Amino acid sequence: MVKRISQDKDFLDLLPSKWWVRFFKKFDEIEEKPVSKWKEIHHLSYITKRYEETYGKHFSFALAGSPGKCPEIHMVKKLMAVLGTSNPKTTRDYIDWVYDKKVLPQNRKFRSIGFFSNSQFCNEFNLDRIEAQRITRATPLPKEYKVIADRLEVTMETYGDLAFAKQAVDQAPLAESREPYRILFRELYKIGFEYDILEEIK
């Protein structure tokens, strides 16, 4: 497993200024910061993290201009514009979708962050997302939600179970018996869960 670019001391020592060092150090924030709080730099970090996992090497940066206005940040902003969203979770899901549907199965090797601002990819992703978002109470929870619920020893199988847990917390927010549910929702929030989805299920 390649060491993350933000943790590679040899790489950081070669950077042209302390501002670039600070820029890359922020890449580690995606490990703790909830997806709902991600900015362009966090999406860039996530793209390069998956690049490192896929190809076993660092993504090369142009190191042009100031870090906050570098070409790679500009391309992430363009990606979000073409995708038509400022929602961090949607953007993160799109990055995963591109890797899982367009890069890995076809063994594609991209050379620029601009690869992600492909309008055909964005349109296909949005159509897939509309279909996938048809959620009912019987819809099974995503694997990452189940992993968290199982770790906390809270029985959760469907969105209906999650809606019931949310209702229980709302009815008695301070009750000790609701604490496992409160912890569950805090952990789900960290990986991008949004309460709005429970209001829309039928």
| Cα–Cα dist 31/107, whole Å | 27
pLDDT digits (tens, 9 = 90+) for 18-44: 999 999 999 999 999 999 999 999 999
Closest CA to 126 of 176, 168, 82: 82
Is residue 198 predicted with pLDDT exceeding 90? Answer: no
Which pLDDT band, with edges at 50, 70 and 90, does 65 fall under? confident
pLDDT at site 132: 72
pLDDT at site 67: 94
pLDDT at site 1: 59
0.75 cut: is pTM over it?
no
Alpha-carbon Rg for the chain in angstroms: 19
DSSP state of 140: B
Which pLDDT band, with edges at 50, 70 and 90, does 202 fall under? low
| Cα–Cα dist 143/146, whole Å | 5
Within 10 A of 49 (CB to CB), how many other CB atoms are there? Answer: 19
Is residue 112 predicted with pLDDT exceeding 70? Answer: yes
Mean pLDDT of the chain: 92
- The strand ranges marked E within 2-96 are none
pLDDT at site 2: 67
The residue ranges of every structural domain in the chain are 5-132, 143-200
